Amino acid sequence: MKVLAFGIVKEIMGGASVAVDANISVAALQASLEQQYPRLKQLSAFMIAVNGEYAGPDVIVKPGDEVAIIPPVSGG
């Protein structure tokens, strides 16, 4: 499945989306992304959104979900 990337994460990953495994927890997804893209560890933090809502570490990411990586926001 694909995850969407924005802002600095898009630059780190070199694109607006990357492919990852589904049926894993948000925490596992974060760990897997950090392994694949070590520069993510330099961020103050990054959250995962599932279907447009911030998702806690235990949420399971399923195929068909819209998953997004949310680096620290800075709107306003």
Partner 1 sequence: MTDIKISATALTVQPCIDWALSAKSGGIDIFIGTVRDMTKGKKVVRLEFEAYESMAVSEMKKIANEAMAKWPVHKILIHHRTGVLVPGDIAVIIVVAAAHRDAAFDACRYAIDTLKKTVPIWKKEVFEDGEEWVAARP
Burial zone of 75 (CB within 10 Å; 0-12 exposed, 13-18 middle, 19+ buried): exposed
Q: Tell me how far, at minimum, the Cβ of 63 lies from partner 1, in Å.
A: 19
- Chain residues that interact with partner 1, rule: CB under 8 A: 4, 6-8, 10-11, 42-44, 49, 52-54, 68, 70-76
Of 53 and 58, the one with the shorter C-beta distance to partner 1 is: 53
Residue 9 DSSP SS3: helix
Q: Tell me how far, at minimum, the Cβ of 28 lies from partner 1, in Å.
A: 22
What tokens does 41 get? 């560890």
